[in-house]
Amino acid sequence: MKISVLVQSFVLGAALLALPASVRADTFPCMVTEVKSFNNRVHVSCKWDACSQGNYGYCFNDIHYFAVPASDLNMAVRFNAMASTAVGDFLLIDYDRNADGSWFGCLYSDCRPVINFARAG
């Protein structure tokens, strides 16, 4: 019986680890202060004190930028367009807090790659 429970636990753990990134994503309400396009990425800068404004009740002070690689042209164009209309407003950004986008200029120390995004409200 103990082996059966152990096997079931292992299978459940493996299934959770195999979930797609969008299921494991965190959502951050980014008050967009800046949108920049580079040759390797499009990124947004988020206002530092989004949570002190009473919006959504939390903030991540270590992550200030969210970016999309320019190599994904369709997503980069959509991200640039939507983020540009959200300057001074909120953009809901899904991201994996452990993802590393340093290969396209999104530094692990303060930036995360974008999985999905939408205008708030």
> What residue segments make up the domains of the chain, in order of their start?
24-119
Higher-confidence position of 16 and 41: 41
Phi, psi of 103 (to 5 degrees): -65, -20
CA distance 7 to 49: 46
- What does the block give as tokens for 37? 């396009």
Higher-confidence position of 110 and 32: 32
Predicted local distance difference test score (pLDDT) of residue 4: 56
Task: Say what percent of the chain tops pLDDT 90.
Answer: 53
C-alpha closest to that of 37 among 82, 60, 70, 4? 70
Strands 41-46, 65-69: parallel, antiparallel or unpaired by DSSP?
Answer: antiparallel
Average pLDDT over residues 73-101: 94
Does residue 109 surpass a pLDDT of 50? yes
Q: Are 101 and 112 in contact (CB under 8 A)?
A: yes
Q: Which CATH class is domain 24-119?
A: mainly beta
Predicted local distance difference test score (pLDDT) of residue 16: 45
Which range has the worst mean pLDDT, 11-25, 36-50, 66-80? 11-25
Does residue 8 surpass a pLDDT of 60? no
Q: pLDDT band at residue 121, thresholds of 50, 70 and 90?
A: confident
Predicted local distance difference test score (pLDDT) of residue 23: 56
